[in-house]
Amino acid sequence: MTIPFTTNDAGALTIGGVPATDLAQQYGTPLYVYDVERIRGAIRAYRTAFDQHNVDYAVSYAAKAFASVAMFQVAAEEQAHLDVVSGGEIATAQKAGFNMANVSFNGNNKSDDELNYALEVGLGTIIVDNDFELVRLAKLAAAKGIKQKILLRIAPAVSAHTHEYIMTGQADSKFGFDVASGQVADAIKKAEAETSLDLLGLHAHIGSQIFEIEGFVAEAEKLVELAAANHFTPRVFDVGGGFGIQYTDDDKPLASNKFIDALVAVIEKGAHANGWDTPAIWIEPGRSIVGAAGTTLYTAGSSKTIPGVRTYQTVDGGMGDNIRPALYQADYQAVVADQATAPATTTVTLAGKYCESGDILIKDAKLPAIKPGDIIALLSTGAYGYSMASLYNRNPRPAVVFAENGKSQEVIRRETWEDLTDHDLDYQG
C-alpha cells in the first residue's frame, strides 16, 4: 500500500497545497509541516464512524502526540475533546481557549499541583490511575467543594501487537489498577463511596500503533466484564487510543470505522446482556489524528560513502526532532521534495547531525540522487515528533507550520540560540 502524499504538475511535493520547497525557503529547516485538512479529515472519520451508530461518544484527541495551541484550536473546531497528561498540556488547552469541560486528564503520577490545577479550571474528567491518586483527589476535590467526574483506569491484561515500549495494557504495566489482585473491585467501591467523586465509568488503553482489531475487542469485553462483576452500571467506557497509521509502503492501517464498528458492537452487546443503557464510548486517538498529516523537511548536507558498505547522507536535523527511530526502531519513508515522484536511483542511509551513531532517520532509503541543499521530506512525522523533541547538543527545536488551502502559517516559532541560554544562570559560587 503506497504511502500517500500530494504533488504538483512538476512532480514536486506539496503540503496543504503549498510546495514543500517554498515552505523550506520561507521558514527554514528542519521544519515540521502539518496538512491541516488531513488533521480535520482524521477527526471527521472517527466522528462519521460513530454517527453510523446510535451511541453517545467522544473523540478525545490525545494531546501528547502533538500539543500546541493551534492544534488544540483545530481539534475544537472539529468538535474533538482533548485528553491531557500534564499541567503543561492543561495550560496549553487554556491558552487555546479549549472548553475545559471537554478535557480528560490521564497520567500515572499526577502531582497535587496538577490535580488542583485541573479542579480549579473545571476540567471535565480525571482518569484516576491508582489508589494513591484516588485518595488524594477525593480530599482535594472535597476541600474545594467540588464533585469531580472521574473514570478509573484499568490495566486490562490485554497484550497488543506493538513495540514493547509502547504497549500499555498488559497486566505487568505501570499504568492503571490491577484486575487480578482485586485493586479494581476496591477502587470501584471506594470511588462510589466518596461524595466528592462522581464515578462515570472505566478506562483502558492497550498501547500504540496497533493494526489489529482483536486487542480492542478483548479490551472492551474486559471493561464490560469488570463493570458487571462489580455490579457497577457504567455511563462511560473509554477505550483509549492506539490506532495504527501508515509510516511506509509496508504498513496496512485499518480504516477508522473498522475499529469503531467493532468497539460499538462489543459494548452494545455487553450493555444489552447486563440490562444497562449503552454507555457513552470515548476514544483517545493521538497518532492517528496527527501522524500522517505531518511531514518533516530537512536540508541535505554532507554525505559519506564507505565503498562496499553504505552511503550516509546527512540532514540538518535528526534524533532531536525525531527520536522514534532511535527509541523504537521506527521505520519512515522519505521523498526528495522537488522530485517526489522520480524513480529511486540510489540507496542512502539518512543520518542526523547529532553526536550519536544511533542518530539514523532511515537506514538504506531508496531515493533519487541527492545533492547538498536538496530538501528531503520525511513522511508521517506528525505524531510524537515535536512533542518528544529535545535540545540535545543544544540544537534549537524547529518551527511548526500549518498549511491549508494553499496558505501556510507558523504556529510554533523556531527556537533560537538565544532561547537556549534563556534559562541559564551564571554560577555565583
Ligand X SMILES: Cc1ncc(COP(=O)(O)O)c(C=O)c1O
Ligand Y SMILES: N[C@@H](CCCC[NH3+])C(=O)O
Does 24 contact ligand X by CB under 6 A? no
CB atoms within 10 A of CB 16: 23
Single out the catalytic residue among 10, 101, 355, 369.
Answer: 355
Grid cell in block for residue 183: 485493586
Looking at the DSSP bridge assignments, the partners of residue 367 are 346
The yes-or-no answer on residue 355 being catalytic is yes
The response to whether 40 counts as a known ligand-binding position is no
Minimum CB–partner distance for residue 351 and ligand X (Å) = 27
Q: What is the dihedral of CA 313, 319, 324, 327, to 10 degrees?
A: 110
Min CB(290)–ligand Y separation in Å: 11
CA distance 268 to 245: 27
E strands within 189-308? 197-203, 236-238, 280-283, 294-306
Piece of 1-9, 28-36, 181-189, 237-245 that binds ligand X (CB under 6 A): 237-245
Q: Does 106 bind ligand X (CB under 6 A)?
A: yes
Instruction: Please pick, from the candidates 40, 53, 81, 205, the single residue that binds ligand X as defined by CB under 6 A.
Output: 205
Q: Is 247 labelled a binding residue? A: no
Shortest distance, CB of residue 136 to ligand X, whole angstroms? 20
Interface residues toward ligand Y, by CB under 6 A: 64, 166, 168, 208-209, 324, 328, 384, 388
284 annotated to a ligand binding site? yes
Q: Which entry of ligand Y, ligand X, none binds 288, CB below 5 to 8 A by partner kind?
A: ligand X
Tell me if 80 contacts ligand X by CB under 6 A.
no
Dihedral angle sign, alpha carbons of residues 330, 336, 337, 339: negative
Q: Which is nearer to ligand X, 284 or 316 (CB)?
A: 284
Residue 164 in marked binding region: no
383 DSSP assignment? S
Using CB under 6 A as the binding rule, whether residue 208 contacts ligand X is answered as: yes
DSSP summary character for residue 165: G
Pairing mode, strands 360-367 and 375-379: unpaired
Given the complex with ligand X, which of 336 and 400 has the nearer CB atom?
400
Footprint (CB under 6 A) of ligand X, residues 365-404 = 383
User: How many C-beta atoms surround the C-beta of residue 251 within 10 A?
Assistant: 16
Enumerate residues 110-149 that contact ligand X by CB under 6 A. none
SS3 346: strand
Q: How far is the CB of 272 from ligand Y (least distance, A)?
A: 32
∠ CA 47-49-52, rounded to 5°: 110
Q: Which of 234, 253, 285, 317 binds ligand X (CB under 6 A)?
A: 285
Q: How far apart are CA 362 and CA 333, in angstroms?
A: 7
DSSP 101: G
Q: How far is the CB of 368 from ligand X (least distance, A)?
A: 32
Nearest distance from C-beta of residue 166 to ligand Y, angstroms: 4
Q: What does 240 interact with, of ligand X, ligand Y, none (CB < 5 to 8 A by kind)?
A: ligand X
Q: What value, to the nearest 5°, has the Cα angle with vertex 200 and ends 196 and 202?
A: 120
Facing residues of 74 across strands?
none
In single-letter form, the type of residue at position 260 comes to I
Q: Is 242 annotated as a binding-site member?
A: yes
Name residue, grid cell 470501584. Answer: 188
List residues forming the annotated binding site for substrate.
Answer: 287, 324, 328, 356, 384
Q: Which residues are catalytic?
A: 355
Binding residues for ligand X, per CB under 6 A? 62, 65, 83, 106, 168, 205, 208, 240-243, 284-288, 383
